[in-house]
Amino acid sequence: MSTKLYVGNLTYDTTETELRDLFSQAGTVSEAMLVNDKMTGRSRGFGFVTMSDADGAREASSRFNGSDFQGRSLIVNEAKERESHGSGGGGGGGGGGARRGSGKNSRSSQRY
């Protein structure tokens, strides 16, 4: 059964190929993925590596957690499932209060 690992504290220049090559030293890598900022497309400095089996994941965690990679001390641990944030809700709001006009006498449109 495959195991997904969180890999943090990566440089913004790290590539998925470099990540895959590093972790393949500990076992078979099924997938290596960097997380990029949606607005800029730039790496956010972390990613995920899926190892094909639990033994490879354990080996990778013990070998690479705290190790130096491209001048940074890596953080490697088993990825946690993303928590569900429910079905929306929360934000929004607004609407209440006095209405404000948009004409030249906008103050006069408010009633006190």
Q: Residue 79's pLDDT is what?
A: 95
Q: DSSP alpha helices (H): ranges in the chain?
A: 16-23, 54-64
The one-digit pLDDT tens for each residue of the chain (112 residues) are 899 999 999 999 999 999 999 999 999 999 999 999 999 999 999 999 999 999 999 999 999 999 999 999 999 999 988 776 665 555 555 555 555 555 555 555 555 4
Burial class (CB in 10 A: 0-12, 13-18, 19+), 82: exposed
Amino acid at 44: R
The residues spanned by each domain of the chain are: 3-78
Q: Residue 95's pLDDT is what?
A: 53
Q: Residue 83's pLDDT is what?
A: 75
- Fold held by 3-78: Alpha-Beta Plaits (3.30.70)
